[in-house]
Amino acid sequence: MSASRTVICLLRNDLRLHDNEVFHWAQRNADHIIPLYCFDPRHYQGTYHFNFPKTGPFRLRFLLDSVKDLRATLRKRGSTLLVRQGKPEDVVSDLIQQLGSVTAVAFHEEVASEEKTVEKKLKAICCQNKVKVQTFWGSTLYHRADLPFSHIGGLPDVYTQFRKVVEGQGRVRPVLSTPEQVKSLPLGLEEGTIPTFEGLGQTGTLIYITVWLYSAGIGNDPRENRKFNMIKQGLDYDNNVSSSFYKSLTVIALVTIKPRELALTGFMSNRGRQNVASFLTKDLCLDWRLGAEWFEYLLVDHDVCSNYGNWLYSAGIGNDPRENRKFNMIKQGLDYDNNGDYVRQWVPELRGIKGGDVHMPWTLSNSALSHAQVSLNETYPSPVIIAPEWSRHVNNKSEGRAHLTHQDNKDRGIDFYFSKNKSF
């Protein structure tokens, strides 16, 4: 009788049983399966340049929910999820020693340097112990091996070129079946407790949320007033990020929304991400890495390639074939929030301003401002910079031009890319 085969399925950014090639392969090649997730301490340190928490509260909450859900799913099917706190390479090494015989370690391959470093260390551990390493590709709609390019050098630099070829010739692989019963774990392994939100060092990050709750007029705890006033005065209240960074982002109403929306929800629309990136890099001339690490910290759907690639692109040092491209913040505001409802929802201090004028409070007359109960530099800041191209979209009533209602502008809407009428 041959020895029983044990496979460790190391979960990474693929915390699911359904449509998961790691489980799919292990079901066919193992007698015992060990589903494993490791809370890697490196994911809870500061970001490289600006020391934001690398995993913010929204993504951590989602991660904890996903781990709990996968464990419950596996338990229903005769298995469970082993949970450990530690580096995957150390945890896997310990498991191999403890069990004496492991046939293979299976996991989804990633592409960024920190993830690759983990993979290299895992492979070295497995090599030393004569354990097979089985990797899979599973985080893109089109499988890497199915791309309609003969070699990686044939991959277009420009996104639209890639999209057109792939939409025309690409093939999306069918969903893999979900096993009814998952092969059992070997005996004698501790299941491991799932760490808590607080246990992973998430208390400090709540400062940002309460500050922005307060500034959005939603929170009213007077204890937060002090923190907010420190920001208002441009003082650092935290070692991580200068408050002047946040303050500078409050210049334009459309951009003011974003830190609030992001800090409160962990989400920002695609359009918002592009606008914030353009404003931060092209108007404020700040280091794009500040924006990239800020997004990495807060976005619930953060992805290394999308985030860093898009910030590079926005900063003008990516694969854009055209130079000196930047967004006109006022045009964007009028295109996507033509009557200003979105601004008024998130920026209550400007709610007295009617219509699209809410995108340009500094251009309004004193009487219009006082009627709207807005006092520039008191209830809302004046711009620290004004880009010349904004004037093309700013109403200039003092020059006697006809009042533009912007009703002629096509309001594309925030969900332009998801329009049901659009044929792809």
Residue 158 makes contact with DNA by CB under 7 A: yes
Residue 180 makes contact with DNA by CB under 7 A: no
The DSSP annotation for 106-139 comes to EEE---SHHHHHHHHHHHHHHHHTT-EEEEE--S
Give the integer Cα–Cα distance in Å for 117 and 358.
Answer: 48
* Cβ atoms 143, 115 nearer than 8 A: no
Count other C-beta atoms under 10 Å from residue 92's C-beta. 27
- At 159, which helix (H) or strand (E)? helix 159-169
Closer residue to DNA, CB minimum distance, 13 or 306: 306
* Sign of the Cα pseudo-torsion (320, 322, 323, 328, in order): negative
* 373-409 burial: b if 16+ Cβ within 10 Å, else e: ebeeeeebbebeebbeebeebebeeeeeeeeeebeee
- Report the nearest approach of DNA to the CB of residue 13 (Å): 19
Closer residue to DNA, CB minimum distance, 392 or 401: 392
- Report the nearest approach of DNA to the CB of residue 154 (Å): 16
Is 43 annotated as a binding-site member?
no
Closer residue to DNA, CB minimum distance, 21 or 296: 296
In this structure, which amino acid lies at residue 316? Answer: G
Q: Residues 311-340: x/- map of binding to DNA (CB under 7 A)?
A: --x------xxxxxx------x--xx----
Closer residue to DNA, CB minimum distance, 336 or 342: 336
Closer residue to DNA, CB minimum distance, 398 or 423: 423
Which of 4, 101, 161, 375 touches DNA (CB under 7 A)? Answer: 161
- Report the nearest approach of DNA to the CB of residue 290 (Å): 18
Give the integer Cα–Cα distance in Å for 294 and 367.
Answer: 38
- Report the nearest approach of DNA to the CB of residue 164 (Å): 9
Is 301 annotated as a binding-site member?
yes
The secondary structure of residue 329, as a DSSP letter, is: H
| Window 381 to 400, contacts with DNA (CB under 7 A) | 389, 392
Count other C-beta atoms under 10 Å from residue 414's C-beta. 14
Contact segment (CB under 7 A) with DNA among 14-22, 44-52, 282-290, 305-313 equals 305-313
Closer residue to DNA, CB minimum distance, 110 or 335: 335
Residue 130 makes contact with DNA by CB under 7 A: no
Closer residue to DNA, CB minimum distance, 170 or 201: 170
Which of 94, 159, 341, 382 touches DNA (CB under 7 A)? Answer: 159
Give the integer Cα–Cα distance in Å for 331 and 411.
Answer: 11
Residue 115 makes contact with DNA by CB under 7 A: no
* 125-134 burial: b if 16+ Cβ within 10 Å, else e: bbeeeebeeb
Residue 129 makes contact with DNA by CB under 7 A: no
* Cβ atoms 109, 136 nearer than 8 A: yes
Residue 274 makes contact with DNA by CB under 7 A: yes
Residue 93 makes contact with DNA by CB under 7 A: no
What is each CA distance from 222 to 4, 227, 328, 349, 370, in whole angstroms?
A: 63, 10, 37, 18, 27
Query: Residues annotated as binding site for FAD?
Result: 301-303
Task: Give the interface with DNA as residue ranges (CB under 7 A).
Answer: 158-161, 270, 273-274, 306, 310, 313, 320-325, 332, 335-336, 389, 392, 412, 416
